[in-house]
Copies of this chain bind each other. A is one copy, B any other.
Amino acid sequence: MTISLGMVTFDTTDAPALARWWARQTGGTVDSAYGDGFVLVRAVDDGPVLGFQQVPDPTPGKNRVHLDLAAPDREAEVERLLADGATLVARRGTDDFPWVVLADPDGNQFCVAQADDA
């Protein structure tokens, strides 16, 4: 099979701002080589690039496709994310596999799980 995942792209009305926010959360590097209409966040590891694509009218409501992040210290990461503008949506899962649903400043929901559980 010769197809691979290179990027996950978000529609947004403010690509530079949302890219900067996600770069801060993931430790990635903002790449604005394509201008303000399409801003990349290159990951520190070899993971997929995050793309932020300026559109006038992102589809409203809960994003049907979402990121699931993992952190060795889930609660510390959640506190950090909340302090930097994320909002808490829900705490879900089971005792064995809990996760936290947050939303970014654009309202894109994402989950944070414990890295050991992920």
A residues lining the B interface (CB < 8 Å): 1-11, 25-27, 43-45, 47-48, 51, 58-73, 77, 108, 111-113, 115, 118
Contact = CB atoms under 8 A, between A and B. Distances in A.
A104 B4 CA distance: 16
B65 A65 contact: yes
Contact of A61 (B2, B48, B59, B69): B59
A60 B63 CA distance: 10
A3 to B, nearest CB: 5
A111 B65 CA distance: 14
Contacts of A5: 8, 26, 43, 47-48, 67-69
A82 to B, nearest CB: 13
Nearest to A11: B64
Contacts of A64: 10-11, 58-59, 63-65, 108
